[in-house]
Structures are given as C-alpha cells and as structure tokens.
Amino acid sequence: MRFIYSTNYINNTGLVDDYGRQLYQISSSTWGRKTTVHKLVEGSPPASYVPLAAIRRHNWSPDTIEWSNGTTFDAVRWLETGGIFSSSRSFTATSQQRYKWRTDGSHWVLEKADGPQVAQSHNRSLGIFGKTRHNPYLDISNDVAPDFDDIVVSYVYLKTRQETQQRRRRSAASAYAASTV
C-alpha cells in the first residue's frame, strides 16, 4: 500500500492512500517537541481520527513514544540501533514480528528480521528530467498490514528525527558561512 504525504515534510502532513483517503494524520507542535499520529477509524459515519501515538522528543532524557493504549516506550530502546556506527534501527511490532529499518541518508528501507524487504520510502520528485512529479511517499507491502500502525509510527519517529538533524546542519552551515564573510 502506498502512503503519500499530503505535504512535502512528515512533521505536519496526512498519509493518503491511492484512493485519496487520508488514513493517518501527523501533526507536530510549533517547536517540534511533540508529534502526534492519528489514525482514521471508519465505521459508522462520520469517519473520525483517533490518537494512535504521541512522539515526544527531549534534549536531556530519552525520547518517548506514548501509544493510545497507555503504553510508553523509550524510543531508543524500542527502536534499537544496529551498533555504534550503524544507522539501522530494529523494533518488534505488537504482532511480535521483528523489523529492521535501514537508511542510505535519503531513503528508508524496512525489512523483516528474516530478510525480505517490506517497505521503502521515496522522496518527492519535482518532475525534472522526464520523471513524474510526486510528493514523498512510503510503500508498505500488504503482507504486513496487521503491523501498519507500528511501521507508520516508527517511520514517523525516524523521519522527523532525520529532518530535524538536517535542518540543524543547514542552519549551522549557514551560520558558519555568514561568520566567515
């Protein structure tokens, strides 16, 4: 299933399927300390969004992920690193299936612990050089549908963290460039 961002960044966006239904809603506080993921609940009309998880980022203590069922995880423990120099993160979904996120710096790939790839992120395309213009999106295999919520929340955490780090690097680089003029 393809989850297409309704905007260019993950911080404040909707994740829309190929039929135009917004299945997840992601909103971040002004300073980016809290990101909330809401899930579309269909059923008796009208459909509504219910909180799924809240991601809280802290400077001096570990980031946390608070699920709507009351469970709170230390984000670093839930999304374990692959080692001191590794950019991969592993987690266990509520189904007890083990997954591993890997990144090359621009794309994220999710694999099951036993190997097959089940998800991949795609950056936006501006439609230059004959490519089709599109917003960023996350492709997730329908084989792991029971774990969509866990996969989406883990991806939102990793992607918001990555975007924050990229903004800080750009800000530091521009500050350095301005100071050398």
Mean pLDDT across 8-12: 84
Split at pLDDT 50, 70, 90, the class of 58 is confident
Q: Domain tally for the chain?
A: 1
Mean pLDDT across 44-52: 82
Split at pLDDT 50, 70, 90, the class of 173 is low
pLDDT digits (tens, 9 = 90+) for 32-41: 689 999 999 8
Residue 125: other Cβ atoms inside 10 A: 13
- This prediction has a pTM of 0.85
Split at pLDDT 50, 70, 90, the class of 59 is confident
Cα–Cα nearest to 19, from 2, 40, 7, 5: 2
Q: Most confidently modeled of 2-16, 42-56, 128-142?
A: 2-16
Q: What phi and psi values does residue 29 have, to the nearest 5 degrees?
A: -70, 165
Asked if residue 65 lies in contact with residue 55, where contact means CB atoms within 8 angstroms, the answer is yes
Structure tokens belonging to residue 102: 């890997």
Cis check for the bond before 46: say yes or no (omega within 30 of 0): yes
Residue 167 lies in domain: 2-179
CATH at 8 = 2.40.160
pLDDT digits (tens, 9 = 90+) for 105-148: 778 999 998 889 999 998 876 667 767 767 888 999 999 999 99
SS3 of residue 16 by DSSP: strand
- State the residue for tokens 């890997």: 102
Split at pLDDT 50, 70, 90, the class of 170 is low
Residue 167 confidence (pLDDT) above 80: no
SS3 of residue 20 by DSSP: coil
Spell out the residues 6+ positions from residue 138 whose beta carbon is closer than 8 angstroms to its own: 2, 3, 15, 119, 120, 121, 122, 152, 155
